[in-house]
Structure 1
Amino acid sequence: MSSTSSASPLTAKAPFLVLDASAGSGKTYSLVQHILMNALRPANMPGAYQKILAITFTNNAADEMKARLLKQLLEFSNEKSPAKNAFFKPIWEALDLSPEELQIRASAGAKHMLHNYSTLHVGTIDQFTHRLVRTFTRDLELDDNFEVRLDLDAMITEALDALYSSLGEQHELREALVALVRDRMNRDKNHNPDYDLKKEGKNSFNEDHWQYLEKLPEPKRLIEIQRELNAKISTICETGQNLSDEAQKILKDEGIEETLVHKKNVKSQILTKWRKLHLHPLDAGKNVWKSYVKGGNHAWDEFLAKAKRFEDENQHALILLKEATSKLQNLAATKALLEKFEELQKSQNTMPLSAFNKLIAEELEKEPAAFIYARLGEKYWHFYIDEFQDTSVVQFNNLHPLIEHSLTKDEHSNSALIVGDAKQSIYRWRGGKAEQFMKLVDNEHLINRFEGHPEGHELYARDTLRLERNFRTHGAIVNFNNALFSSLNTDLGLETHKEVYSKKRVHQTPNKNEDQGEVRVDVLEADNANELKEIACEKTVERIEELASRGHSYSDIAILVRGNADGKRIANFLTQKGYPVLSADSLVLSNAHEGRLIHAASKLYLNQLDKEARFALAHTLVRQGKIPADKGFAFERAVVDKGVGALISEYPLAAQLLAPAESLFDFAVRTFDVFGYLDGANAMVDASLDLVYEFQSREGTFATLPAWWEEQAKKKNVEAPESTPSIKVMTIHKSKGLEFEHVIVPFDINFKPDSSEQWLDFPLHDELEKMPITYKDDHKELFETEQILELDTKDRFDWINMVYVALTRPVSGLHLLLKGGEKPGHLAKAVLDHLALSYEAQSWSCGTVVAPSTKEESIPEAIVAAAHTTMSALEVKMALTAPDKWYEGGADARKWGTALHRLLQYPKELRQQGLQRLYRSGEFSKPLHERAASALELMNAKEALQSLEKEGTVVYTERSIINGTETLRPDLIIESEQKLMVIDYKTGTPKEKDEAQLKEYIDLLSANFSDVNGELLYI
């Protein structure tokens, strides 16, 4: 039976639990506690955690949860007085164990987890579906060795290039694209259709679109249908023009123009706009139909009735037809793009990560028995889904058969726990559907009923539990938010959404002091938007200075904004004032000096006369302080004028920048070495080398590196450094799940009405079941009343959620700068109306100031005592990403091989330095580091590699050899003294297939070269 309560998740009896967890309510704490309870439940089974599958929303959240699970076990394992541990007390009580017995299990579990960290199944839903697809490639009719590509944008760009290349063979499609360009120019838009086509290409993987796109006819037929629909529009327009002529004739022949009531409306509509209905809507307006002739006129009355019938019969049809014809060109191009995308996947044997959910959904439709899950379900006993409000319908439908299969067996007290908060659902644009979580919370979801029928047998019991305390935020802020958000539910049209923000559902009891914490509201006024933002920036600086004067570190302060443009504005303003700022832009590789250096050097390598590249390289060195500031201008000028020669005085090895490189990776390593970037740990250097290696592994070339780098480096985010206290500037979306001592919201969180496309029934053509219609005021009459209410409610609901996420991040202080005046901002109106304040410039506050806490963290005595008998901090960090048996020095062959391949591409003199970088970054443990160092020494001594030292030797690293339709790629080809030596690195024990592969390389090269040898080197 489904029910709702506030009991502890650890003592709940139902196998399926829904945890409704508001912001700051200890969600992750409860989740980790529940996972560890089930991991420690079986006696004499230290690897029971391997029977648990936990799914989170982001990689960072997954990493954090895995780290917390391991940390809790390690701490408890080493405590001298386990009975005093508050975290594990509810667990031993729920399991009816003594603290000592639970500690023994925790110690065994911690040791097992340390040695098999990769078998702790906590990850994102994409990672899980990827693993699922990998496991069942044969059942899904996939190639065993298909490659997953994460760069969907790049794949779509490649497919678009292929589409453009094929236009010479597709006359109709070419003409459609030309028409699309003309249409864009007529609407004062960028003539280039690439943006729209790429956007539609990405949308095709969105579950709200792909199911409809697939049902559309092929591109050529869509273009034909567009012509057919245009003909229908012409017919309606022609009829409208005829009726306009008829009205003009009646007015003239009957002589009634002067006695016609509402003559002005008739002239502007029927006599004018109806003559050009292809440009105007068919909506004459109420006054036209109220028009009449004083004294009466039968001819006019008859005409008006006929015209009204025409409008009633064709008004909606004309809007639909216009919308359809405006979209069909784009849809035809999108379908053609997707065809090229399919061809690209087959030719490359690749698949984008975003395709997995669709693939599984389609397979489950074919196999109602869910044969995949029937096998996989034996592996897991307990399931956890975090941030469920951001899970899409297809994602949950794909996961549920696995959960159901496990829960209906109940052999090991099997369970499922879903955690979420509908108030924090801010990813609808990415497929997140808060409504399915709301149905679970309200016990209305039928997924646990047989065949999803309300009267169906209950397959398993389900409970909803609420976490009602707020452990994050001080009381004054919690109480302010309780009152504010419960007052906003009147703006929501649907009762289900109103209930989410009802007083009982919003209310939280603060765990911290009721009176402490501060909320400060400043209402700002200005003559224009730009001036208002300038005032807000200045006010933000005032607040930062005030907090700093109280003793707060800059890292205590976060500035949250609605969009990236506002984030850049406030970040630039603070930077110019000399404040240290950590923003999303500062963590993107393309914005880092190291990323810009590689980009400039690669352009210079291709064209040493490129003055733009010369300046970019010199400017980067100056900006990073490699060149003293007082010499900066002269240095830049000299490099622009003289090229690489001007660098040699400062960097004697600079001539190597233009020397032939063995590989792209070798070039990147050499570039950083020239300028001294390899001397110490540098996350941006590591990220740059990883990206170059990835490009090289994808058949990248020097000629295409600059363009590829420009596209990909802006997508590469690097983990934030924690050494320098900095003010954090981020969007509200990025802040979700985080907390900060003080939060400043400097600009309005503006409400943006949804203008997305909705797929509506299209009854005007047999081959078009549905068509995408843009939801806007002009089209609302095409939507049912219930649908309008639903869309408008979701719009407002999503905005309130955005505000909720922003206002629930702070611990001690919330600072709102609101746009007042005659046209107050959306956030200002909501807050000031709630506080019953005017929109004039003023200040308001509540609560009391919380003194900054000291930053020194105490280390539990047990952990200090255990440091020498367990692991170093670095080794614990390395466990988080290590392969199986990493601690004993074993390694997963693929990861070990990839890492050593990368090391072997460093110049010989820099290989040990590269190995040190892997060790520092946590990729290699100490035993693996020692093994790798030994392996490198053995490699350097191999006779087959001695020719590398000879003058005139040419080395080809991972170069492709085309054999008909097959592409072969040996690790190394060494050309020396008219001889070729093929080297292939292998891991593990020698195998027959390794020899066969080497022979294939040699045979293929022997067709063009007379003296070809080869050797397998096992690393």
Structure 2
Amino acid sequence: MPASFRIYSSSAGSGKTYQLTKEYLLLALGADDPAYFKRVLAITFTNDAAGEMKHRIVDALRDFAYPKVGKTDGLLAEVAAELKLPTAEVQRRAAATFRLVLYHYADFGVSTIDSFVQRIVTAFTRELGLPATFEVELDTDAVLQSAVAALLDKVNRDPNSKLLSQTLAEYALGQAEEGKSWSRLPEELAGFGRVLFNETVQEAVAQLGKLSLADFRRLDKQIRTRRGEIEAAFAQTQEVGAAILEQADVRVDDLYYGKTGIGQYVQKGVALLQADGGPNSYVRKTLNEDKWHGGKIKSPADKARVDAVREPLTALMATLDKMRTEYLPNYTLLTAMQPYLFHVSLLSELNKLVEQISLERNVVLISEFNRRIASIVLTEPVPFLYERLGERYEHILIDEFQDTSVLQWNNLLPLVENTLANGHSSLAVGDAKQAIYRWRGGEMEQILRLHQGNTAALVARARDEEMRELLRLRYETLDPALQARALQMNYRSAREIVVFNNSFFEAVSGRHAELGLVSGIYDAHFGQEVPDTAPGVTSPPDPLSKPAFFLSP
């Protein structure tokens, strides 16, 4: 059988754990070597899930080896059929493997991804600059609070921290200007500092860390200057609009729709820089349908006064439209950046203190593991990694793949690629729909792109050119081996629920086909079926007429 990396779409209740157990047994019993189970690594995300999987695998091996009299084992029959082996041979292999699993339970490779990553970190303590006897710190908030306290204390004790003092003072003043309490500075800093432990923005944080406090102060000055220039340009248009009306002796009420029309609009000035500050329908109607006269303009003399402002106001409107198109996006971005600039400028200082405190306490934050080993796993030869770990895995099974963060997958990718290069198969199981919760930094796009075989999109997301090249080389081996699979039978939910959900998401997907990635979640691979024996309705309800709880039982 050729090497493959199968991506299973597995919604809730579709027998995912059963499938993973069967896949593990097929690999462990497929070779006539009772110790081959040591070459299979199954990764999940919680201790409970890892414990359940271990329990199921051990129970299955025991039931295979020592079957109960008069009981038919459907899983044993499936495994024997797929391995194309007599049932007695599968039972013999299961008995030998079961015995070794009990004697060498530490080599039973079913663990959480954090446990596996910790083993890699332990194997590379010297390369990662860690003390040999470090402890894992789970409470990142405690370390962050200590770092914030040390940062504020540094202002009082360090005579060379004048720039830091100014930055903190300006940050507090900015909070006060926004109506927030400056006295909550420690809580604000700690809340914003949590971004240091967020895997999804670590590349950006690393880039920002290259800037000094002085760099941020210069950037703040440049932003304020640029915003002032843009505001001055729009303030000038307000003066121009008022002058045009004054010279022609035309009041706002003389124009079509008065205070909601074009006369008021051309005098809005800086207010035009609001996202919703564009011309309303009355202003557009004045221009498009040539409607300029207000309701009280009747005499030829009054009409002549209004007609005198047509040409200059039309030209001014063209200028305002052009200015909004040119300046509004940048102004909006600069305005959004301004309040957080001093937050960001302090990230690097907080990060240095977090590292210092961790070193003093001889701890490593669990959130740091994936970031620290990224350079090791992606750049070192995989055989060298396994040599340091003291183990070599030929197959990798990943559970709850939708919860795998980008950094975690990038760290696992070389190991999966190595299994394929050596002619062995691996797999991942997940549900893209559940990735919308972004638990643990999981991304919907990751599992969906792999399921679609579009790895180029995953490579393109990397900000760093070197990282993109490393990923591209890894995916060259993975691409030909990708196989999309689906576990579509729902054994848990009532037929009404499954039928309604399929109908609802099919309707939503059809109405929003332009969303591409989102609508791709609800294609044929991601829908669900129900067993023929399941009770309930058989015809789909109108998915957009009634909520699910109105369906008749």
Q: If the length of structure 1 is used for normalisation, what is the TM-score?
A: 0.46
Which residue, 32, 41, 50 being the options, matches 2:21? 32
Which residue, 481, 485, 489 being the options, matches 2:505? 485
Which residue, 485, 507, 511 being the options, matches 2:528? 507
Contact 1:473 1:510 (8 Å CA) reproduced: no
1:495 aligned onto 2:204:
no
**TM-aligned CA distance change 1:329 to 1:451, over 3 Å:** closer
Query: Shift of the alpha carbon at 1:362?
Result: 3.4
Query: Shift of the alpha carbon at 1:386?
Result: 0.6
1:64 aligned onto 2:59:
no
Contact 2:417 2:474 (8 Å CA) reproduced: no
Equivalent residue, structure 2, for 1:112: 100
Counterparts of 1:978-993 in structure 2, within 5 Å, are none
Contact 1:474 1:516 (8 Å CA) reproduced: no
CA distance in 1, matches of 2:549, 2:125: 62
CA distance in 1, matches of 2:418, 2:436: 31
Q: Deviations over 1:881-936 (max 9, x none)?
A: xxxxxxxxxxxxxxxxxxxxxxxxxxxxxxxxxxxxxxxxxxxxxxxxxxxxxxxx
**TM-aligned CA distance change 1:318 to 1:98, over 3 Å:** same
Q: If the length of structure 2 is used for normalisation, what is the TM-score?
A: 0.82
Equivalent residue, structure 2, for 1:199: 191
Identify unmatched segments of 5+ residues in structure 1: 1-11, 518-830, 848-1019
Equivalent residue, structure 2, for 1:208: 200
Which residue, 346, 349, 356 being the options, matches 2:369? 356
Equivalent residue, structure 2, for 1:921: none
CA distance in 2, matches of 1:263, 1:81: 93
Contact 2:199 2:407 (8 Å CA) reproduced: yes
Contact 1:283 1:315 (8 Å CA) reproduced: no
Query: Shift of the alpha carbon at 1:377?
Result: 9.8
1:234 aligned onto 2:198:
no
Counterparts of 1:896-935 in structure 2, within 5 Å, are none
CA distance in 2, matches of 1:67, 1:149: 28
* Helix, strand or coil at the partner of 1:100: helix
One-letter amino acid matched to 1:316: P
Query: Shift of the alpha carbon at 1:429?
Result: 5.4
CA distance in 2, matches of 1:142, 1:90: 48
One-letter amino acid matched to 2:60: Q
Equivalent residue, structure 2, for 1:440: 450
**TM-aligned CA distance change 1:307 to 1:83, over 3 Å:** closer
* Helix, strand or coil at the partner of 1:506: coil
1:274 aligned onto 2:269:
yes
Counterparts of 1:237-248 in structure 2, within 5 Å, are 237-248=231-242
* Helix, strand or coil at the partner of 2:229: helix
Query: Shift of the alpha carbon at 1:105?
Result: 2.2
Contact 1:233 1:318 (8 Å CA) reproduced: yes
Equivalent residue, structure 1, for 2:482: 462
Contact 2:255 2:263 (8 Å CA) reproduced: no
1:148 aligned onto 2:175:
no
Query: Shift of the alpha carbon at 1:451?
Result: 7.0
Equivalent residue, structure 2, for 1:321: 334
Equivalent residue, structure 2, for 1:341: 354
Q: Deviations over 1:73-109 (max 9, x none)?
A: 2233222559932211222233333323322222222
Equivalent residue, structure 2, for 1:929: none
* Helix, strand or coil at the partner of 1:73: helix
CA distance in 2, matches of 1:160, 1:112: 51
Contact 1:22 1:467 (8 Å CA) reproduced: yes
CA distance in 1, matches of 2:323, 2:521: 45
One-letter amino acid matched to 1:846: S
Q: Deviations over 1:817-855 (max 9, x none)?
A: xxxxxxxxxxxxxx9962635x9xx984433xxxxxxxx
Equivalent residue, structure 2, for 1:383: 396
CA distance in 2, matches of 1:483, 1:115: 51
One-letter amino acid matched to 1:419: V
CA distance in 2, matches of 1:429, 1:270: 48
1:406 aligned onto 2:385:
no
**TM-aligned CA distance change 1:207 to 1:504, over 3 Å:** closer
Query: Shift of the alpha carbon at 1:352?
Result: 0.8
**TM-aligned CA distance change 1:175 to 1:373, over 3 Å:** same
Which residue, 135, 156, 171 being the options, matches 1:180? 171
* Helix, strand or coil at the partner of 2:6: strand
Counterparts of 1:90-129 in structure 2, within 5 Å, are 90-129=78-117
* Helix, strand or coil at the partner of 1:425: helix
**TM-aligned CA distance change 1:335 to 1:843, over 3 Å:** closer
* Helix, strand or coil at the partner of 2:131: coil
CA distance in 2, matches of 1:511, 1:112: 41
**TM-aligned CA distance change 1:377 to 1:294, over 3 Å:** farther
* Helix, strand or coil at the partner of 1:836: coil
CA distance in 2, matches of 1:276, 1:15: 59
One-letter amino acid matched to 1:836: S
One-letter amino acid matched to 1:319: T
**TM-aligned CA distance change 1:219 to 1:187, over 3 Å:** same
Query: Shift of the alpha carbon at 1:444?
Result: 2.9
RMSD over aligned CA atoms reads 3.5
Equivalent residue, structure 2, for 1:48: 36
1:134 aligned onto 2:125:
no
Equivalent residue, structure 1, for 2:7: 18
Q: Deviations over 1:764-820 (max 9, x none)?
A: xxxxxxxxxxxxxxxxxxxxxxxxxxxxxxxxxxxxxxxxxxxxxxxxxxxxxxxxx
**TM-aligned CA distance change 1:196 to 1:269, over 3 Å:** farther
CA distance in 2, matches of 1:397, 1:118: 26
Q: Deviations over 1:32-77 (max 9, x none)?
A: 111022112232x333222111111222111111121122222332
Query: Shift of the alpha carbon at 1:476?
Result: 4.1
* Helix, strand or coil at the partner of 2:81: helix
Contact 1:53 1:122 (8 Å CA) reproduced: yes
**TM-aligned CA distance change 1:364 to 1:69, over 3 Å:** closer
Query: Shift of the alpha carbon at 1:435?
Result: 1.7
Q: Deviations over 1:853-875 (max 9, x none)?
A: xxxxxxxxxxxxxxxxxxxxxxx
Query: Shift of the alpha carbon at 1:29?
Result: 0.6
* Helix, strand or coil at the partner of 2:168: helix
CA distance in 2, matches of 1:504, 1:342: 45
Query: Shift of the alpha carbon at 1:418?
Result: 0.9
CA distance in 2, matches of 1:301, 1:17: 62
**TM-aligned CA distance change 1:17 to 1:165, over 3 Å:** same
Q: Is 201-210 or 77-86 further displaced after alignment?
A: 77-86
**TM-aligned CA distance change 1:303 to 1:439, over 3 Å:** closer
Equivalent residue, structure 1, for 2:298: none
* Helix, strand or coil at the partner of 1:380: coil
Contact 1:173 1:332 (8 Å CA) reproduced: no
* Helix, strand or coil at the partner of 1:214: helix
Q: Deviations over 1:493-517 (max 9, x none)?
A: 4234324324664131326433399
**TM-aligned CA distance change 1:454 to 1:334, over 3 Å:** closer
Query: Shift of the alpha carbon at 1:237?
Result: 2.2
How many equivalent residue pairs? 513
Counterparts of 1:802-951 in structure 2, within 5 Å, are 834=543, 836-837=545-546, 844-847=550-553
Query: Shift of the alpha carbon at 1:305?
Result: 4.6
Q: What is the identity percentage for the equivalent residue pairs of Structure 1 and Structure 2? A: 29
Contact 2:189 2:343 (8 Å CA) reproduced: yes
**TM-aligned CA distance change 1:494 to 1:106, over 3 Å:** same
Equivalent residue, structure 2, for 1:624: none
Higher relative contact order (CA 8 A, sep 6+): 2
Equivalent residue, structure 2, for 1:613: none
* Helix, strand or coil at the partner of 2:75: coil
Identify unmatched segments of 5+ residues in structure 2: 293-304, 460-468
CA distance in 2, matches of 1:428, 1:418: 18
1:222 aligned onto 2:216:
yes
* Helix, strand or coil at the partner of 1:473: coil
